[in-house]
Structure 1
Amino acid sequence: MFNKGILLLLALIYSCAAHDTSMLPEAYVDAAQRSTHTNNWAVLVDASRFWFNYRHVANVLSIYRSVKRLGIPDSQIILMIADDMACNARNPRPGQVYNNANQHINVYGDDVEVDYRGYEVTVENFVRLLTGRTQNGTARSKKLLSDAGSNVLIYLTGHGGDGFLKFQDSEEITSQELADGIQQMWEKKRYNELFFMVDTCQAASLYEKFTSPNVLAVASSLVGEDSLSHHVDASIGVYMIDRYTYYALEFLEKVQPFSKRTIGEFLQVCPKRVCISTVGVRKDLYRRDPHKVPITDFFGAIRPTHVSTDRINVTLANEEDFVNAVANVRPKKQFKIVMEPQFTAAFLK
């Protein structure tokens, strides 16, 4: 029988090998860097009310539009908006919300599905959503039905401070409550990997207490710093969008569903010279190299597909014949998904 010293030595060697990829075959390392997730979910939250916080609603609707364009369906997006700016009495353009003064794209659109609206956007409902403890009678569309194979994007915007984010100007969620909620998600196998993205003042304080595995986090400002808005629309008298989200969208607008752009590139989208605040990143809990992670692992929902314009015989004798027939088909032309850009080229200059 092995004595305790030998067992301890073997455990140490195994631990070192697991963390030092230089000891592993190259093919194994490459495989470890690929995602094993099977589905994508997005939880997008605007926690602010009142007309002067118009930019926060524009922030969340812009991210919502981006993840839909890249493939995440409404059935796997939970959208929480604390105030209905589209129907606000001060809005001179009823039913419309814009993220830039050029008013190029109405990000509210005709197909926005808001799951939690107005006073439904509370700390309790947000925590219940993350942990799967929704109340009896909650509609299926209001539930985060993620599992151990899910990559989950959580985006928060609003007013915050050191260790908290305000909801509705009446309550706060603390960094400890966020950490506890994500820990419960991990223990209940509600995510494979989680990308936490927050645009608020002192945003980095919100991820300081995270301890759960496979979590990557980015924040628009460090502790002690404010996150600033980008520009104002004088015709309606409010700021249109926040700086960090603006530059994040500028990057996302150039991403196509099969893009090779990476999360590592995305983490660098807003240098201090344009953001004014310092973007914070936390990746010590994340097992993969962000520069080898496609951005569509979180902002899209792509499946390997073969597009064909030719006829395929689906009445073949067996499965092997069918697979061979599909393999021999070549598409006659390339297909590309095209959506109207949120920003005009002139506006981005």
Structure 2
Amino acid sequence: MLRILTILLLAATAFAVILPASSKKNRDKAEDAPNIWVLIVAGSNGYYNYRHQSDACHAYHIMAKHGIPDSNIVVMQYDDIANDPENPTPGIIINHPNGSDVYKGALKDYTGDTVTSTNFLKILQGDAAAMKGIGSGKVINSGPNDHVFVNFVDHGAPGIVAFPNDELSAVDLNNAIKDMHKQKKFAKMVLYFEACESGSMFDGILPNNIDVFATTAANPDESSYACYYDDLRQTYLGDVYSVNWMEDSDKENLSKETLQSQFKIVKKETNTSHVMEYGDLTIAQMKVGDFMGHSFDEDAVQLPKVSKADAVKSEDVYLTILRKKAEKSQTPEESDYWMKQVHAATAKRGFINGVLRKLAGTVAKSSSHALELINTRQSIDDEEVHQCLHLANKFFSKNCFSLARNEYALFTAPRFLANACADGISAAELIRAMRKTCTHQTMHGIN
């Protein structure tokens, strides 16, 4: 009897030892599971840029619907569209013709003048101390096992994307990402960038060995496109690349679909520009849900397919909207008013073109070379050219025309500067030319 009791006691002791070890293993496994952190940015303001905040709000709802808690999502949006006087449906924003309200319930962690490139980089890098007392104060508090997803929507140009009052360069973005990798602030990072020439934010500068994968709406040399013009709202509701990936995410089981599968779908459906991929392409074999959340709603409403035949280059959106308002005017007086706005905008654009011609003439070898610097599209796919462009863009924006606050300057000047840098003209030469040429008064609102 004593022997039986001894055996039972030993067995119980062994089980007691094994059980905590097993529980610890399961607990460690749960603790090691990656958290998903999401940073969504609409980098513009102004009602004619309605589509950017609309895209961002829609992106938020995708993340929330797929199970990512608000504590792990940060949204930056200027928040001037929903209640703009031009909005015929106050407090409502839609991202699809006859679509549901995407503004309702969307996060607004950083709004107005807190939507800056400086704050963006601090939030991305998890600098909570720097963001204390600003907006919600939330940052991407990711660790070495976590996944980070970044969705940026706005205007762009070679080596740069815009915020409402400043710009973010490819050099600064990639330096921040590299620093995060060194500090082990993520296991994997995925970026979806919607902007003109958005490929230039990664081409030749994003390493392929730091666990980062990026897709862009356009290659380094072309515009991205707006779509879904709405007659009631008199603006474009979305951007082609953005609505393509979001409408795919709305209907797919993201636990089964890979990033590569989504990339191929979006690339095929975005027939207005060349959707690109950069960085560590092996990450594309991971599931979309690893970065947007795994929850799946079997009863999710799928939006009806709508033609994007009305797609227009981002750089043409402002004038196109003005012309459409003139065409649909009810009286000759109203039509005349909007056509005067078209002519005024065109004249302002002409002023910027004149300044660029002077700059080109100053640094070019000949008049034909000057035309080449303005009209061609040279590659900026190496770090030396990126560094030259980084310096030239910053100086131009500070001393000639703010690239963030004069969108037409953004559409034109960085391309000229990129061509010059790629052609061997140094940043120092370009800066000397800008000091000599940019003597006009400060100007804003040249769209």
TM-score w.r.t. the length of structure 2 is 0.58
Match of 1:220 among 217, 224, 233: 217
Following TM superposition, by how much is the alpha carbon of 1:249 offset from its aligned partner in structure 2, in angstroms? Answer: 1.7
1:127 shift after superposition: 1.1
Structure 1 counterpart of 2:227: 230
2:83 is the counterpart of 1:87: yes
One of 122, 125, 129 as aligned partner of 1:128: 122
Gaps of 5+ in 1: 1-35, 303-335
Q: Structure 2 matches for 1:13-52, cutoff 5 A?
A: 37-52=33-48
The 3 A distance-change label for structure 1 pair 339 and 144 is farther
Match of 2:199 among 200, 204, 218: 204
Is the 8 Å Cα contact of residues 232 and 240 (structure 1) preserved in structure 2?
yes
2:180 corresponds to which residue?
A: 185
CA separation in 1, counterparts of 2:236 and 2:59? 17
Q: In structure 2, do the counterparts of structure 1 residues 143 and 158 end up closer, same or farther at CA, with 3 Å as the change threshold? A: same
Compared with structure 1, are the counterparts of its residues 105 and 348 closer, same or farther at alpha carbon in structure 2 (3 Å cutoff)?
farther
Whole-angstrom CA distance in 2 between matches of 1:346 and 1:175: 35
The one of the two structures with greater contact order (alpha-carbon pairs below 8 A, sep at least 6) is: 1
- Structure 1 counterpart of 2:59: 63
Larger radius of gyration: 2
Secondary structure in 2 matching 1:87: coil
Task: Indicate how the Cα distance of structure 1 residues 136 and 276 shifts in structure 2: closer, same or farther if over 3 A, else same.
Answer: closer
The answer (yes or no) to whether the contact 2:122–2:131 under 8 Å persists in 1 is no
Which residue number in structure 1 is paired with residue 297 of structure 2?
Answer: 337
Local SS of the residue matching 1:128: helix
SS at match of 1:44: strand
Give the distance between the partners of 1:54 and 1:163, measured in 2 at CA.
Answer: 24
Counterpart of 2:160? 164
- Decide whether the 8 Å contact of 2:131 with 2:137 is kept in 1: no
Distance 1:45 1:63 in 2: 10
1:141-161 Cα deviation digits (max 9, x unpaired): 522111111100001010000
Q: Which residue of 2 aligns with 1:243?
A: 240
Deviations 1:289-347 (A, max 9, x none): 523x1110111156xxxxxxxxxxxxxxxxxxxxxxxxxxxxxxxxx735653x53354
- State the Cα distance separating 1:89 from its structure 2 match: 1.7
SS in 1 for 2:232: coil
Tell me how large the CA RMSD over aligned residues is. Answer: 2.2
Alignment of 1:256-275 (within 5 A): 256=253, 259-271=255-267, 274-275=270-271
**Structure 2 counterpart of 1:125, which letter?**
N
| Structure 2 counterpart of 1:55, one-letter code | R
Structure 1 counterpart SS, 2:123: helix
Q: TM-score scaled by structure 1?
A: 0.73
CA–CA separation in structure 2 for the residues paired with 1:121 and 1:137 = 15
Partner secondary structure for residue 265 of structure 2 = coil
Which is richer in helix? Answer: 2
The residue matched to 2:264 in structure 1 has which SS?
Answer: coil
Q: Residue 154 of structure 1: which of 142, 150, 157 is its match?
A: 150
User: What is the alpha-carbon distance in structure 1 between the residues aligned to residue 97 and residue 270 of structure 2?
Assistant: 18
Structure 2, unaligned stretches of length 5 or more? 1-31, 309-447
The 2-side partners of 1:279 and 1:227 are apart by 9
Residue in 1 that maps onto 2:287: 294
The superposition leaves residues 254-313 of structure 1 with CA deviations (integer Å, 9 ceiling, x where unpaired) of 2236x3111110111233664310001114x35x3523x1110111156xxxxxxxxxxx
Query: Which amino acid is 1:296 matched to?
Result: G
Q: Distance between the aligned counterparts of 1:346 and 1:271, measured in 2?
A: 17
CA distance in 2, matches of 1:105, 1:150: 32
d(CA) in 2 for partners of 1:276, 1:136: 38
Whole-Å Cα distance in 2 between the matches of residues 275 and 136 of structure 1? 40
Asked whether the equivalents of residues 40 and 301 of structure 1 are also in contact (C-alpha less than 8 Å), the reply is no
From 112, 125, 134, give the equivalent of 1:118: 112
2:253 aligned partner, one-letter code: Q
Q: Is the 8 A contact 1:220 1:279 kept in 2?
A: yes
Aligned to 2:69: 73
> Greater strand percent: which structure?
1
Q: Percent identity?
A: 26
Q: Report the Cα distance in structure 2 between the residues aligned to 1:124 and 1:236, rounded to whole angstroms.
A: 32
CA contact (8 A) 2:216 2:277 kept: yes
